[in-house]
């Protein structure tokens, strides 16, 4: 008799990560058959020819002799000191090395922080659209995601009144992703002030995913949450993956701020969970000080003629020239989140569209509904390819949408006759 099939955690059925899901698997099959694809599904700068800055690489090479042992569970002391100084410089006076946690990417720290916080049935207020790890980590740590809307009609910014109306006796935290993945929205100070006031009124932890904190275009300016939050408990996340183009090194951090008494138990829980996994990857941590104290290498990429700036321009211009697309221009981060409008939007299904684009035009995008939105007429692309390649991508997208709009314009009987 064959062995019984292994059962897995039931709540995994509620979890999705389509950025690397079904469509990405189909893309790998097509590549194995010899097709050349343009894959815009992952915000992975190294896969598009970006390199981590040389001074960061050098810092790892110089430190490599010291990287054999485990380090402190919260991270290498020198790296945490550098991070504490950096966040004090941002206006968080209580940022000390003991309040800094270094992890294997922000990803690990998202999971640890929710595990430290949640009891079964506790609620977390999450943006919709979200970066889907936030939903997954909430669910897998026995919490319940409650979504506040960031609607395209409002520039993908949330409405603080709606956030407050969703607070219940079970709410524990508000997650902010700013600058935002997938929309590119950048939150203004007044909006952040209102959200901080909600957290203060209801005793909630602010979980601020600021991994794109230095990737901004044109006049957009980043506003960190923690300096505004002051005594309100706040965990600010960032890392080396995006701003420093070193996704593969798996280095992220979270800085705890707020009233010492209010955060004491949570601090202890984070430290304990960090200790259970011993420590984060040590070699990568040697690059942290160099990243914070060395030359700024991201601004030139985001300024006119910089690669990210010109990629964003290619997307904005392509959408403007499209018969079927609309876009809230991204103010920051590495993505654009266009919507399909008009005849092509009739009966539009973002998954069917993404599959057709892959099968017929060799382009891989992520359907908008993968980011936990109820509507199905958006998709996400990264701004990481060369600008000309992005223009080519949008020519191919236009061909698929032309066909869909043509189909929508053809009466049902005629379609049946053609079939
Ligand atoms: C908003 C957001 N948070 C967190 C992460 C995870 O980053 P890391 O590589 O540090 O785990 C990503 C990666 O794309 C992201 O977009």
Q: How confident is the model at residue 411 (pLDDT cuts 50, 70, 90)?
A: low
Tens of pLDDT, residues 44-69: 999 999 999 999 999 999 999 999 99
Domain definitions of the chain by residue range: 11-40+304-418, 54-293
Task: Answer yes or no: are the C-beta atoms of 149 and 128 closer than 8 Å.
Answer: yes
Handedness of CA 221, 226, 228, 233 (dihedral sign): positive
CA distance 244 to 224: 18
pLDDT above 90 as % of the chain: 89
- Note whether 266 and 93 are within 8 A (CB): no
Residue-wise pLDDT for 92-121, tens only, equals 989 999 999 999 999 999 999 999 999 999
Residue 395 and residue 46 in contact, taking contact as beta carbons nearer than 8 Å: no
Query: Looking at domain 11-40+304-418, does it have CATH number 3.90.1150.10?
Result: yes
Q: Does 419 have pLDDT greater than 80?
A: no
Ligand 1 atom at shortest distance from the alpha carbon of 239: 10
Residue 415: is its pLDDT beyond 70? no
d(CA 398, CA 324): 7
Cα–Cα distance, 311 to 302 (Å, whole number): 10
At 413 the pLDDT is 56
Q: Which residues of 200-236 are buried (b: 16+ CB within 10 A; e: fewer)?
A: eeeebbbbbbbbbbbbbbeebebbbbbbbbbebbbbb
Cβ(129) – ligand 1 distance below 6 Å: no
Cβ(127) – ligand 1 distance below 6 Å: no
**Is CATH 3.40.50.720 the classification given to domain 54-293?**
no
What is the arithmetic mean of pLDDT over 356-375? 95
Question: Which of 106, 150, 383 most suits a substitution to test ligand 1, by most atoms within 8 Å of the C-beta?
Answer: 106
CA distance 114 to 256: 14
**pLDDT on residue 409:** 61
- 241 CB less than 6 Å from ligand 1? yes
Q: Evaluate: CB of 152 within 6 angstroms of ligand 1.
A: no
What is the overall mean pLDDT for the chain?
A: 95
Pairwise pLDDT comparison (313 vs 419), residue with the higher score: 313
Smallest Cα–Cα separation from 383: which of 324, 317, 321, 296? Answer: 317
Look at residue 90 and tell me whether its pLDDT is greater than 50: yes
The encoded tokens of residue 318 equal 């392509």
pLDDT tens-digit series, residues 214-226: 999 999 999 999 9
Ligand 1 centre to CA of 108 (Å) is: 10
The string of pLDDT tens digits covering residues 135-186 is 999 999 999 999 999 999 999 999 999 999 999 999 999 999 999 999 999 9
Q: Whose CA is nearest to atom 14 of ligand 1?
A: 43
Task: Look at residue 417 and tell me whether its pLDDT is greater than 80.
Answer: no
């Amino acid at each position: 008799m064959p062995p019984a099939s292994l059962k897995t955690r039931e709540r995994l059925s509620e979890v999705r990560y389509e950025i690397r899901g079904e469509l990405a698997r189909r893309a790998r099959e097509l590549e194995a058959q010899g097709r050349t694809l343009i894959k815009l599904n992952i915000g992975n700068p190294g896969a598009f020819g970006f390199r981590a800055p040389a001074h960061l690489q050098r810092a790892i090479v110089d430190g490599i002799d010291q990287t054999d042992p485990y380090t402190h569970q919260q991270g290498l002391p020198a790296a945490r000191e550098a991070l504490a100084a950096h966040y004090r410089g941002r206006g968080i006076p209580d940022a000390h090395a003991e309040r800094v946690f270094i992890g294997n990417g922000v990803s690990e720290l998202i999971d640890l922080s929710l595990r430290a916080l949640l009891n079964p049935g506790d609620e977390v207020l999450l943006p919709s659209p979200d970066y889907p790890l936030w939903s997954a980590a909430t669910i897998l740590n026995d919490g319940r995601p409650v979504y506040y809307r960031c609607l395209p009609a409002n520039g993908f910014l949330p409405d603080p009144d709606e956030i407050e109306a969703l607070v219940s006796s079970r709410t524990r935290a508000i997650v902010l992703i700013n600058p935002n993945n997938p929309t590119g929205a950048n939150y203004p100070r007044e909006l952040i002030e209102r959200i901080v006031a909600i957290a203060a009124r209801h005793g909630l932890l602010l979980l601020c995913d600021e991994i794109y904190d230095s990737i901004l275009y044109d006049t957009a300016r980043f506003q960190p949450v923690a300096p505004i939050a002051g005594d309100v408990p706040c965990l600010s996340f960032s890392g080396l993956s995006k701003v420093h183009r070193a996704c593969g090194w798996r280095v992220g951090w979270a800085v705890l701020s707020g009233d010492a008494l209010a955060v004491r138990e949570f601090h202890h829980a984070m430290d304990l969970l960090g200790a259970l996994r011993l420590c984060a990857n040590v070699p990568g941590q040697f690059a942290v000080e160099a990243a914070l104290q060395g030359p700024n290498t991201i601004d030139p990429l985001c300024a006119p003629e910089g690669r990210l700036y010109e990629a964003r321009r290619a997307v904005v211009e392509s959408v403007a020239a499209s018969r079927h697309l609309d876009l809230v221009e991204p103010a920051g981060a590495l993505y654009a989140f266009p919507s399909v409008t008009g005849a092509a939007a009739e009966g539009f299904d973002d998954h069917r569209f993404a599959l057709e684009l892959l099968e017929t035009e060799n382009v891989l995008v992520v359907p908008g509904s993968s980011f936990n939105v109820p509507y199905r007429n958006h998709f996400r692309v990264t701004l990481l390819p060369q600008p000309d390649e992005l223009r080519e991508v949008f020519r191919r997208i236009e061909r698929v949408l032309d066909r869909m709009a043509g189909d929508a314009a053809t009466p049902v009987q005629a379609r049946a006759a053609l079939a």
